[in-house]
Each structure stands twice: as C-alpha cells, then as structure tokens.
Amino acid sequence: MTEHLSQLASATEAQREQALERFALIQPFLEGDIPLTHVAAMQRLPLRTLRQWVQRYRREGPLGLMRKGRRDRGKRRALPADLVRLIEGLALHRPARSIAAIHRQVTKVAIDQGWQPPGYSRVYAIVRSLDQPW
C-alpha cells in the first residue's frame, strides 16, 4: 500500500489529472449506476479500453489509471557494427537509393544474420548523420 502511495506522490500532475479523468469516466459503472456499454457509447470510447481501465483500477487503484512511461525511453538498442557499416555503405553508393530501399535491404540482411532488424527511423537517422550534401 505504501508503495502505491509513493508512486502516486511521485507521479506528475498530468498523470494524476489523467487518472482522475479516467476515474470520472468509469465511476458511474463502478457504482453500479450505468452499464459500461452505455458509458462507452456516451463518451465515444472503445468498450475494450474502458474494460481495461476498470480492470486496472480494481487491481491497482488510481495508480492503474495513469499512463505508465517506458523504462527504455530515450535509449536506443545497439546495432551490430557490421549493420551500421552496411547502412552507411548503401547510403553512399551511387546511384543514390531511397532510405526506404536501404531499409528493406538492411532488414533482409539483418534477418539472414539472425539480428533484430532496425526500424525505419533508425536507418533514416544513420543515413542523415552522414556528412554529405543532399
């Protein structure tokens, strides 16, 4: 219980407001006044979303209604050096390829090597970081 209170206290004002807004939406259902399907229709929210909020509220209390941040936010997974060199080599090759074409080719190579393929935005960032006039 004290862990929930400390997490609630350390939450941002926006997270607490969001939890209160979500609670206000599901409160009529929790009190037995209105079926959840009616709440979903009145608020134009997916029924599945409301069910998840109710489930998390019952399990975790108000803390369950706050959006949780990602633990890995701002961190990038390291790519194998060979894969980065391949991206750079394909970007410098003439005639110039589109970043989408480079991404498709790199994805195939990564899968063949048993590596996790990089996302398009990661390939884009690597290509754009090269010192060359576009």
C-alpha–C-alpha distance, residues 51 and 121, integer Å: 33
Q: Is residue 94 predicted with pLDDT exceeding 80?
A: yes
Q: Look at 68 and 115; give whichever has higher pLDDT.
A: 115
C-alpha–C-alpha distance, residues 25 and 15, integer Å: 16
The predicted structure's pLDDT at residue 70: 73
Question: Three-state DSSP class for 3?
Answer: helix
C-alpha–C-alpha distance, residues 70 and 76, integer Å: 12
C-alpha–C-alpha distance, residues 105 and 103, integer Å: 5
**Percentage of residues in the chain having pLDDT higher than 90:** 67
Average pLDDT over residues 63-69: 85
Decide: 106 and 83 in contact? Cβ < 8 Å.
Answer: yes
The predicted structure's pLDDT at residue 133: 56
Average pLDDT of the chain, as a whole number: 88
> Please, which residues have CB within 8 angstroms of residue 128's CB and are 6 or more apart in sequence?
none
Q: Is residue 6 predicted with pLDDT exceeding 80?
A: no
Q: Is residue 4 predicted with pLDDT exceeding 80?
A: no
Q: Which tens digit of pLDDT belongs to each residue from 119-132?
A: 999 999 999 998 76
Q: Look at 71 and 97; give whichever has higher pLDDT.
A: 97
Q: Give the angle subtended at the CA of 52 by the CAs of 49 and 55, to the nearest 5°.
A: 150
Question: Three-state DSSP class for 98?
Answer: coil
